[in-house]
Amino acid sequence: MNQMNLAFDLYHLWEVCGGQMILIVAGLFLILVDMMLLHKDVEVRGKWLGWLTVFIFAATIGHMACREWELHDIVFMNIFSADKFSIFVAIIMACSGMLVALMSIGYLRNNRLMNGEYYILLVFAVAGAIGLVQSVDLLMMFLTLEVMSLAIYGLAAFLKDSPFSQEGALKYFLLGSFGSALFLFGVALIYGFTGTLNITEVAQAISNGTYQSLPLLTAFALIIAGLFFKMAIVPFHMWTPDVYEGAPSVVTGFMATAVKAAAFGIFMKVLFVTFTPILATNGQPDFASTVNLSALNPYWKPVIWWGALLSMFFGNLLAVSQTNIKRMLAYSSIAHAGYMAVGIIAANGEGRTGVLFYLFAYTLMNIGAFGVVYIIDGVERKAQELDDYRGIGYRYPTLAFLLSLFLVAMAGLPPTAGFIAKFYVFSAAIKEGYFLLAALGVLTSVIGAYYYLRVIYMMYMKEEIREVVRGAVAAPTVVALVITALGVLYLGMLPEKLASIANLAQQSLAMIF
């Protein structure tokens, strides 16, 4: 083989980034199919593309879970790593993609918008997201972040006839570019100090004591800010409600879960690999210098403390006065970001496990909720006001029950996944002595319970004031809803399995070196 021609080992790439490769290749394939498939009926074409996308995601999940999960040689070219943590998050995002794809088939049909670009963008968005969490290279992070973001800008703006969708997308775009610029500034600085972009090498480079030098802190702050934007942590959350409200419902579900998972995943990865490295508990810790392991704790911990608290507080508080259910769920997603941040602040294994579990659980319940929302909507923005939900409980009992289940899960009540997830993150924080944060956090979740319950009482306890006709329920959506509902209940009652996997995953963060 000529080394010049082939700068890397393709097989190794396939091993490490198989999921991404499947998605990218499949994305290209989808473009082809979209152009070639000359079926007259747009609907049929859309449906086929949709199912194809679902299949692609299923294949991706299967591949990642079966092969990449058990890898030993996990880092490829110092750019991508297939550590269990990244793969876990990647699987969450692929699941989110699959569920969203399932729902999109029905959603797009209801909205008479069967363009294939949707699925292409969805696939690339997930590919970008997976690339993001897999990358251990800051430049690659930026690039994949942009791949994901651009795809999502496109998805958010997908309702071309809706000014809301376009406006949301534009806001997202403008602020997103701003956020990316901040992130990039930080990345550039890191590059400047260390001469490298690989996060493990960065960690090694700064382990000699430059931890607390001002420029590095500045770079750290800028990276935090850039990622907080994607995580929607207060005060970088302002775009969330507008974009979530404007974007197509299923896309909102996707944004609230996959994008959030990607952001949290990469944040934790950067934090716990570069800035506050954790040591391998088994295996061999390559990273020898343990002196400064927690030198940055006093910097980022208060930041996340406040960020988590403010997110929980403002997210829940502002959700109270919302009348649009999507906007309400958007605020609630801010609050959930806050809860997850509580898990990060604990900075212990339980906390990271908790965050991973939370991401998974949140994916299930949030996508499920948006699925119900879009069905009740019929056509986007037709019935999104809370008043439209009056009496739904008797008009559409199953839908209402499902929505109640998801909302109850989000409110964090047993026996749902939401409760266990909250339990995990809060118990991790309490373990580290963050009683006050935990107490304030649970109090804000009381506010949260109020607005979730409000939807439930609208559905079950109020007389309807106008006749809401739900949209058609497509079979794939039913599948997705069943999966999410069962998942929410299953994880609520038997969380141990997923939690132990997540625990394995978070432990692998120490193994990236």
Partner 1 sequence: MDYYFLLFAIMAVGAGIFTITVKDALPSALGLLTVFIALAALYLHLHAPLIAIFQVSIYAGAILVLVVFVIMLLITPDEALETAQKNISYRAMGAILGVYLIALLIIGLKGINQLVAQKSLPEGFGKPSQIGDLFFRKYILHFEISSVLLLVALVAAIYLAKKRA
Partner 2 sequence: MNAPILTYVTFLPLLGVLFILAVPQRDEAGKNVIRGIALVTSLLTFLASLRIYAAFDPSVAGFQLLEDHPWIPSYGIHYKLGLDGLSFWLILLTTFLTPLTILSTWRAIDKRVKEFQVALLVLETAMLGTFVALDLFLFYVFWELMLIPMYLIIGVWGGERRIYAAIKFFLYTAVGSLLMLVCIIGLVYFHYDSTGRMTFDLLQLYGTHIPRNYEIAFFAAFALAFAIKVPMFPLHTWLPDAHVEAPTAGSVILAGILLKMGTYGFFRFAMPLFPQGSAFFAPLIIVLSIIGIIYGALVAMVQPDIKKLVAYSSVSHLGYCMLGLYVLTRQGVEGSVLQMINHGISTGALFLLVGIVYERRHTRLIKEYGGIARIVPIYSTIFLIVTLSSIGFPTTNGFIGEFLILLGAFKVNKVAAVLAATGVILGAVYMLWMVQRVFYGEVTNPKNLTLTDMNLREVAYMLPLLVLIFWIGLYPNFFLKKMHTSVDHFINQVKIEQTSQGSQMASIHEVPGIEAATVSMAKE
Partner 3 sequence: MDKYIFLIPLFPLIGFLINGLFGKRLGKGIISFIGCMSIAFSFIVALFIWKDLLSLEPEHRVFTQTLWEWMSVGGLKVDVSFMIDPLSMLMILVVTGVGFLIHVYSTGYMWEDESYWRYFAYLNMFVFFMAMLVLGGNYLVMFVGWEGVGLASYLLIGFWYQGIDNAVAGKKAFIVNRIGDFGFVLGMFLMFWTFGSLSYLDVFPKALELFEHGSLALNSPVLIAICLLLFIGATGKSAQIPLYIWLPDAMAGPTPVSALIHAATMVTAGVYMVARTNVLYTLAPTALLVVASIAAATAFFAATMGVLQNDIKKVLAYSTVSQLGYMFIGVGVTAYWAGVFHLMTHAFFKACLFLCSGSVIHAMGGDQDMRHMGGLAKKMPITYMTMLIATLAISGLPPFAGFFSKDEILGKAFAFPYHPLAGKIIWFIGTVGAGITAFYMFRLIFMTFHGKFRGTEEQKHHLHESPATMTVPLIILATLSLFGGWLGIPELIGKLFGHVPNILEGFLEPVFEHSSRIVAQYGHHVHVAEPVEWTLMATSVVVAIIGISLAFYIYMVRGEELPKKLAERFAFHYQVIYNKYYVDEIYEFLIVLPIYYFSIFLWKVVDAFFIDGIGVNGPAWLVKRTSAGARLVQNGFVQTYGAFMLVGIVTLLCFFIYR
What is the per-residue burial (b if ≥16 Cβ within 10 Å, else e) of 410-448?
A: bbbbebbbbbbbbbbbbebbbebebeebbebbeebbebb
The answer to whether residue 453 forms part of the interface with partner 3 (CB under 8 A) is no
Name which of residues 196 to 235 contact partner 3 (CB under 8 A). Answer: 214, 217-218, 220-222, 224-225, 228-229, 234-235
The answer to whether residue 320 forms part of the interface with partner 3 (CB under 8 A) is yes
For partner 3, the binding residue among 242, 350, 377, 388 (CB under 8 A) is: 242
The answer to whether residue 430 forms part of the interface with partner 2 (CB under 8 A) is yes
Closest CA to 97 of 130, 69, 64: 130
- Smallest gap from Cβ 398 to partner 2, in A, equals 12
Q: Of 252 and 353, which has the nearer Cβ to partner 1?
A: 252
The answer to whether residue 298 forms part of the interface with partner 3 (CB under 8 A) is yes
Report the Cα 247 to chain-centroid distance in Å: 16
Residue partners of 353: CB distance under 8 A and separation at least 6: 424, 428, 499, 502, 503, 505, 506
Contact 405, 485 (CB under 8 A): yes
The two structure tokens encoding residue 377: 């909507």
* Type of residue numbered 236: F
DSSP state of 9: -
Determine phi and psi for 80, rounding to 5 degrees: -115, 145
Residues facing residue 80 across a β-bridge: 76, 135
- Smallest gap from Cβ 436 to partner 2, in A, equals 10
Q: Of 196 and 427, which has the nearer Cβ to partner 2?
A: 427
* Alpha-carbon separation of residue 32 from 6, 28, 37, 155, 165 (angstroms): 26, 6, 8, 19, 27
From start to end of 169-250, where are the E strands?
A: none
- Smallest gap from Cβ 315 to partner 3, in A, equals 11
Cα 211 to Cα 486: distance, rounded to the nearest angstrom? 46
For partner 1, the binding residue among 70, 209, 212, 215 (CB under 8 A) is: 215
In this structure, the number of other CB atoms found within 10 A of the CB of residue 478 comes to 16
The two structure tokens encoding residue 274: 């570069």
- Smallest gap from Cβ 24 to partner 1, in A, equals 6
The answer to whether residue 193 forms part of the interface with partner 3 (CB under 8 A) is no
Closest CA to 202 of 214, 190, 187, 218: 190
Quick one: what does residue 239 bind among partner 2, partner 3, partner 1, none, with the CB cut-off 5 to 8 Å set by partner type? partner 3
Site string for partner 1, 151-180 (x = CB under 8 A): x-xx--xx-xx-------------------
Quick one: what does residue 181 bind among partner 3, partner 1, partner 2, none, with the CB cut-off 5 to 8 Å set by partner type? none
The answer to whether residue 267 forms part of the interface with partner 3 (CB under 8 A) is no
Q: Is the peptide bond before 285 cis (omega within 30 degrees of 0)?
A: no
Quick one: what does residue 157 bind among partner 3, partner 1, partner 2, none, with the CB cut-off 5 to 8 Å set by partner type? partner 1
Q: Is the dihedral of CA 408, 414, 415, 421 positive or negative?
A: positive
Q: Where on the chain is the footprint of partner 2 (CB under 8 A)? A: 394, 408, 413-415, 419, 423, 426-427, 430-431, 435, 438-439, 442-443, 445-446, 449-450, 453-454, 456-457, 460-462, 495-496, 499-500, 503
**Contact residues for partner 3, defined by CB under 8 A:** 170-171, 174-175, 178-179, 182, 214, 217-218, 220-222, 224-225, 228-229, 234-236, 238-239, 241-242, 298-299, 302-303, 314, 317-322, 447, 450
Contacts with partner 1, residue ranges (CB under 8 A): 4, 7-8, 13, 24, 27-28, 31, 42, 77, 79-80, 115, 117, 120-121, 124, 127-128, 131, 137, 139-140, 143-144, 146-147, 150-151, 153-154, 157-158, 160-161, 189, 192-193, 195, 210, 213-218, 221
